[in-house]
Chain A
Amino acid sequence: MNSPSVQQGGQPAQEYLTFTLGREEYAIDILRVQEIRGYDQVTAIANSPAFIKGVINLRGAIVPIVDLRIKFNLADVTYDPFTVVIILNIGRRIVGVVVDSVSDVIALSGEEIKPPPEFGASFDTEYLLGLATVAERMLILVDIEKLMTSREMGLVEAAAA
């Protein structure tokens, strides 16, 4: 895996896709991103948590859609023509996540990434790779693969997780 945490120490910069959720800006490894598309009609899945919106047809593949805004308890969750879905390639699975907006692609080198503070239980540091500051913006680097395959997301079978 191209986890940036193991590349600290002067390695060439790695590219990240940044997106916003509420007032925070997050960054994920661009190599995990397959495409970005608008929010389409989803087919709801019975008896599943609210943040799993359902499944869509992505050119013949059945792809689950997760709303990270609901997962992160953001108050303002609306679906309009500007709602963005990032289609991720994780392992051999395809998963879509709904975010507020996608900002840009930036390159970060190992030394620009600071280890995350040991903060409380609000966001599990297990899924954090670190923090970075770019033009006065704080970016939260997320290990999206770890997050999406985690037990609490319930996206994969417990045995496979």
Chain B
Amino acid sequence: MNDGMNQFLQVFFEETEEHLASLELLLLGLDLQQPDPEELNGIFRAAHSIKGSAGMFGFDDLTAVTHELETLLDRIRSGQLALQAEMVDLFLQARDVLMRLLDAHRQQRPDPDVPVSSTVARLRELLDAAPATGEEASFGFFDDAPGTPQAATDDDFGFFDEAPGAPAQAADDGFGFFDDAPGTPAPTVSEAPKAVAPPASPSTSPSTKPSAGEGESSSIRVSVEKIDSLINLVGELVITQAMLGQLGGALDPSLHERIHQALAQLEHNTRDLQESVMSIRMLPISFIFSRFPRLVRDTSARLGKQVELLLQGEHTELDKGVIERLSDPLTHIVRNSIDHGIELPEVRLAAGKPASGTLRLGAFHQGGSIVVQISDDGRGLDRARILAKAREKNLAVHDGMSDAEVWQLIFMPGFSTAEVVTDLSGRGVGMDVVKRNIQAMGGRIEIDSAAGLGTRISIRLPLTLAILDGLIVAVANTHYVIPLTYIVESLQPKAADIRGLGGEEGAVIRVRGEYLPLLSLHDLLGEAAPPLPAEQSIVVILEADGRPFALQVDDLVGQQQVVIKSLEQNFRRIEGIAGATIMGDGSVALILDVDALPGLAQQQGAALHELP
């Protein structure tokens, strides 16, 4: 297949995926007793669009399933057939079949296991319950279409290009069109895709509806690489600007007033540019939230539980990279909540709670980070059982541990308190992976839980993976960056507060009555110069994995936002170093991997003791 055709195919795959997503969303939001005609229209149009474009590309299996789907939906829409719960289930299954077919086509690897014919047959069964109408005409029409795929797809493009200013208007046109002519959904090639193209935006119910639909018609598709290279270039510009600023700062302001003004202007403009470029990568979190209604529905149905899902703050924007990597951990936590957290209806009723449990998914900004919360009103974590399990696994626990410390135990590898291992959760793999994934993004995860009342898991994430707020510290003339999220405080220690331990000088430091392990960045990084006496240096209190420790550095240089650069791109991973950044003077500073520092210190300690 040539490149041009490939490009259209790519568009087809992306659009079909969006249609399938909106189809699913609409199906889940459907009120069985009184289906909203607009929602039914939306579902119909999604199926219809897929059928149309699949026909153009000759994907007969997709066409076959969507044809039945469309026919059924049209009956329901025109009131000839009453909507039933089993239909929605079947429609959702058909959507999954379509998704699998789409994936198979995309990878050009046909999947013979996809139950196409059985799905078609079951859709037909439902259809046979009602009298037939002259629906075949539209199918026959699309069979003719594959000869002119390019023109038709171009029209699709044209539509999106024209629509940006007035998505609602365009969508209304679509409605009008279909309302007038329910029996003949596709009169001409060029109009059919036009009218059905934006199914998501208008017909969405406010409760579950993200802005994705509205954004769709007023947006263009750009590859992520292009945006990333733009972000890189702007990063370079920021560094160059900082260099100019430093050079300009050395000039006498009274003699070079205009240069100073211009530099100030440059700084302002660069910052604006950086902000707007960064915002391109930002997506609303509804991108992942939108998949949860289905997940909750399926999971709770399989477990015989009743769960109501509430979404909050789905317009909160965060970096695309963060969103992609957040999806798996969130899915895992939500499954866990339904499986372990929310009780069976009869148990809930016995406990005086409503039979249906509530699962809340929320996202909001707090300070410079994003907080994603998953809370349920289930049974809560069982402190005694977690402790018992921990003892069984020979973990160091005691009854005096705070709740927060106990809850952290569930993130230990291989830790599961589930009584029954189900196919959903309880295998004890997962929560540790969840935590690792979150930490890899520079995020943190916290648990609140109360027995009988529920559990709340909060994930705190940086806004973006590309920029980090850091504290610049100096060690023997070298600058290092400590991510601000890890820092509790920094202080100038008194000699009396620094104590030895086990024959090792300066091993611990007393901070407000607590003894913290004291690590020296000099030793950790193998600096040739010996560290300054502790009382002449600065100690930064850091927290990694919920455990605080003190890090001794020579000096604090300042706090600034730094652009994260990969060290591995041209080099390799270095233990204790998370990445690199470029400072205002063009030099490279390394970003510390705070989570790895205690481990590094332990290794070095062990190596020292092994020496004769």
Contacts from A to B (Cβ < 8 Å): 41-48, 54-57, 59-64, 93-95, 154-157, 160
Q: Is the CB of A62 within 8 A of B566?
A: yes
Q: Is B526 an interface residue (CB 8 A)?
A: yes
Least CB distance from A56 to B in Å reads 6
Which residue from chain A places its CB closest to the CB of B575 in the assembled complex? A47
Among B239, B525, B576, B587, the residue within 8 A (CB) of A60 is B239
**Interface residues as binary, B573-612 with A (CB distance below 8 Å gives 1, 0 otherwise):** 1111100101000111110000000000000000000000
**Chain B contacts of A157 at CB under 8 A?**
568, 572-573
Given contacts A43-B589, A47-B525, contact A59 B570 (CB under 8 A): no
Q: Is B478 an interface residue (CB 8 A)?
A: yes
Q: Is B297 an interface residue (CB 8 A)?
A: no
Least CB distance from A4 to B in Å reads 25
Q: Is the CB of B570 within 8 A of A64?
A: yes
Given contacts A60-B232, A60-B239, contact A43 B478 (CB under 8 A): yes
Q: Is B235 an interface residue (CB 8 A)?
A: yes
Q: Is the CB of B570 within 8 A of A62?
A: yes
**Chain B contacts of A63 at CB under 8 A?**
570-571
A-B contact pairs, 22 of them (CB 8 A): A43-B590, A44-B478, A45-B577, A45-B590, A47-B526, A47-B574, A47-B575, A47-B576, A55-B567, A56-B588, A57-B239, A57-B586, A57-B588, A60-B235, A60-B565, A61-B565, A62-B565, A62-B566, A62-B582, A62-B588, A64-B571, A157-B572
Given contacts A60-B582, A156-B572, contact A43 B587 (CB under 8 A): yes
Least CB distance from A60 to B in Å reads 5
Q: Complex Cα distance A160/B570, Å?
A: 12
Among A44, A46, A62, A94, the residue within 8 A (CB) of B580 is A62
The 3 closest A-B CB pairs, nearest first, are A46-B525, A43-B588, A64-B571
Q: Is the CB of B524 within 8 A of A46?
A: yes
Given contacts A43-B588, A55-B580, A62-B569, contact A48 B478 (CB under 8 A): no
Counting chain B residues whose Cβ lies within 8 A of the other chain, the interface size class is 20 to 34
Q: Complex Cα distance A55/B568, Å?
A: 11
Q: Is B236 an interface residue (CB 8 A)?
A: yes
Least CB distance from B62 to A in Å reads 38
Given contacts A43-B589, A45-B590, contact A57 B574 (CB under 8 A): no
Which residue from chain B places its CB closest to the CB of A46 in the assembled complex? B525
Least CB distance from B196 to A in Å reads 44
**Chain A contacts of B232 at CB under 8 A?**
60
Q: Complex Cα distance A94/B586, Å?
A: 18
Within 8 A of A (CB), among B467-500: 478
Q: Complex Cα distance A3/B356, Å?
A: 69
**Chain B contacts of A56 at CB under 8 A?**
588
Given contacts A60-B565, A61-B565, 16 further A-B contacts (CB under 8 A): A43-B589, A43-B590, A46-B574, A46-B577, A47-B525, A57-B239, A57-B582, A60-B232, A60-B235, A62-B567, A63-B570, A64-B570, A64-B571, A94-B570, A95-B570, A157-B568
Q: Complex Cα distance A57/B571, Å?
A: 13
Q: Is the CB of A46 within 8 A of B526?
A: yes
Which residue from chain B places its CB closest to the CB of A61 in the assembled complex? B570
Contacts from B to A (Cβ < 8 Å): 232, 235-236, 239, 478, 524-527, 565-577, 580, 582, 586-590
Q: Complex Cα distance A64/B232, Å?
A: 19
Which residue from chain B places its CB closest to the CB of A45 in the assembled complex? B574
Q: Is the CB of A46 within 8 A of B576?
A: yes
**Chain B contacts of A155 at CB under 8 A?**
571-572
Among A47, A55, A59, A60, the residue within 8 A (CB) of B571 is A55
Which residue from chain A places its CB closest to the CB of B585 in the assembled complex? A41
Least CB distance from B474 to A in Å reads 13
**Chain A contacts of B577 at CB under 8 A?**
45-46
Q: Complex Cα distance A64/B573, Å?
A: 12
**Considering residues A42, A45, A48, which has the most beta carbons from chain B within 10 angstroms of its beta carbon?**
A45
Q: Complex Cα distance A102/B207, Å?
A: 69
Q: Complex Cα distance A48/B525, Å?
A: 9
**Considering residues A60, A63, A93, which has the most beta carbons from chain B within 10 angstroms of its beta carbon?**
A60
**Considering residues A56, A61, A157, which has the most beta carbons from chain B within 10 angstroms of its beta carbon?**
A61
**Chain B contacts of A64 at CB under 8 A?**
570-571
Which residue from chain A places its CB closest to the CB of B580 in the assembled complex? A62
Least CB distance from B335 to A in Å reads 32
Least CB distance from B43 to A in Å reads 46
Which residue from chain B places its CB closest to the CB of A95 in the assembled complex? B570
Least CB distance from A85 to B in Å reads 14
Q: Complex Cα distance A93/B572, Å?
A: 11
Least CB distance from B293 to A in Å reads 41
Which residue from chain A places its CB closest to the CB of B526 in the assembled complex? A47
**Chain A contacts of B567 at CB under 8 A?**
55, 62
**Chain A contacts of B566 at CB under 8 A?**
62
Q: Complex Cα distance A115/B26, Å?
A: 72
Which residue from chain B places its CB closest to the CB of A93 in the assembled complex? B570
Least CB distance from A101 to B in Å reads 24
**Chain B contacts of A48 at CB under 8 A?**
574
Which residue from chain B places its CB closest to the CB of A47 in the assembled complex? B526
Q: Is the CB of B572 within 8 A of A154?
A: yes
**Chain A contacts of B526 at CB under 8 A?**
46-47
Which residue from chain B places its CB closest to the CB of A52 in the assembled complex? B571
**Chain B contacts of A45 at CB under 8 A?**
574, 577, 590
**Chain A contacts of B590 at CB under 8 A?**
43, 45-46
Q: Complex Cα distance A42/B586, Å?
A: 11
Least CB distance from A31 to B in Å reads 18
Q: Is the CB of B587 within 8 A of A62?
A: no
**Chain A contacts of B565 at CB under 8 A?**
60-62
**Chain A contacts of B524 at CB under 8 A?**
46
**Chain A contacts of B586 at CB under 8 A?**
57
Least CB distance from A83 to B in Å reads 17
Q: Complex Cα distance A101/B224, Å?
A: 42
Q: Complex Cα distance A96/B478, Å?
A: 21
Least CB distance from B476 to A in Å reads 9
**Chain A contacts of B525 at CB under 8 A?**
46-47
Which residue from chain B places its CB closest to the CB of A94 in the assembled complex? B570
Given contacts A47-B574, A48-B574, A62-B571, contact A55 B235 (CB under 8 A): no
